[in-house]
Structure 1
């Protein structure tokens, strides 16, 4: 579904991604692992059009999307949940969800889609008329994911969904990811610093180190590889 070849991205004089290759199969969960500064967030920002690559190519279902704008990528079925639980604090839960689906101009989906999000994330249902600023960190993360899903994506890019969350809340979000893949066939590219969490849900994983890909294998194989875990992962 997603084919990344020779991707290079810079921030000024700093090379954040250096000749990264990546393939993501439709309907799979692929984890991107590595310590702080490995290039994980830059990879997602580049794939979602928020950061322009210096070199390389990205294709989605055979279509070159390397230099498309974020809004064009959303229309092609790519949604990005950035690190930091970015929701609009002044809007209610319901308004945030509605915002995620507005571009489709489908009034029926705005209603039914929101109800699907409430079923997927029950804590949001009780707070639908509350402003997002009143939500807990875990609830904000659920809302950020729910808002992205309102665009009905085929590919969801998730950046550190468990960061700063209590283990119980993080486990709930991981369970939702499994449900999304199993029931809707959604393809996920998941960035996580917590390798154990990511490998528990992923089918495949790649490991970045200082912008370079240093490992690429099934999640089970990497989870069992003590050399990779000791050298590159914080577990």
Structure 2
């Protein structure tokens, strides 16, 4: 589904990504791992159009999307949940969800989609009329993911979905991601600081270090690679 070739990204004079090659298969979960500053978030920002690539190419379903902006990419089936559980706190839970599906101009989906998100994330239904600012950190993360899913993406980019969450809540979110992949064939590219969590759910994993790819293999093989675990994953 996704093919990244020679991707270079910069913040002013600082090069954050160096010639990154990456392939994500349809219906798979691919984890992007590495320490802070490895370039994981920059990679997702480049793929979602928030950061213009300096060089290289990105292809989605064999279509070049390298120069597309975020709005175009949403229409093409890419949704991005950035780090930080960004929701509109002044809006209610239901309003945030409906906002995620508005661009589709499909009133039937706005009804059935919201119901589907409440089925996936039961705590949100109990708070559907509450403003997002009243939610816990875990509930905000559920809402951020649900709002992205309301655009009915083919590819979901997730940046640190378990960051700062209680282990039980993080496990619930991981279980939901597994379920989504199994039921819908959704493709996920997952950035995670917690390598153990990411490798337990992913089919494949890529390891970045200071903006360079240092490993790319099946998740189970990387989990068993002592050299990679000690050098880059703190496992």
Once residues 234 and 162 of structure 1 are traced to their aligned partners in structure 2, the CA distance between those partners, rounded to angstroms, is 17
**What residue number does 2:18 align with?**
18
Superposed structure 1 runs of 4+ greater than 2 Å apart: none
Measured on the aligned residues, the alpha-carbon RMSD in Å equals 0.4
Equivalent residue, structure 2, for 1:129: 129
Is the 1:180–1:186 Cα contact (8 Å) retained in structure 2?
A: yes
Please give the residue correspondences for 1:1-235 in structure 2 after superposition, counting only pairs within 5 Å: 1-235=1-235
Cα offset for 1:234?
A: 2.7
SS in 1 for 2:141: helix
The number of residues matched between the two structures is 235
**Structure 1, residues 173-196: CA drift from partner, whole Å, max 9, x if none?**
000000000000000000001000
Q: For residues 69-127 of structure 1, what are the alpha-carbon distances to aligned partners after superposition, in whole Å with 9 as ceiling and x for unaligned?
A: 10000000000000000000000000000000000001110000000000000000000
Q: What secondary structure, in the 3-state scheme, does the structure 1 residue paired with 2:57 have? A: strand
CA distance in 2, matches of 1:234, 1:88: 34
User: Is residue 206–residue 217 contact of structure 1 (8 Å, CA) maintained in 2?
Assistant: yes
Deviation by residue 1:144-192 (Cα, 9 ceiling, x = unmatched): 0000000000000000000000000000000000000000000000000
Shift of 1:67: 0.7
**Higher mean C-alpha displacement, 225-234 vs 197-206:** 225-234
Is the CA contact 1:194–1:234 (under 8 Å) kept in the aligned structure 2? no
Provide structure 2 residue ranges, at least 5 long, that are not aligned to the other structure.
none
Check the 8 A contact 1:207/1:214 in 2, yes or no.
Answer: yes
Unpaired segments of 5 or more residues in structure 1? none
In 1, Cα distance between the equivalents of 2:166 and 2:108?
35
* TM-score when normalising by structure 2: 0.99
Is contact 1:181–1:187 with CA below 8 Å preserved after alignment? yes
What secondary structure is seen at the aligned counterpart in 2 of 1:66?
A: coil
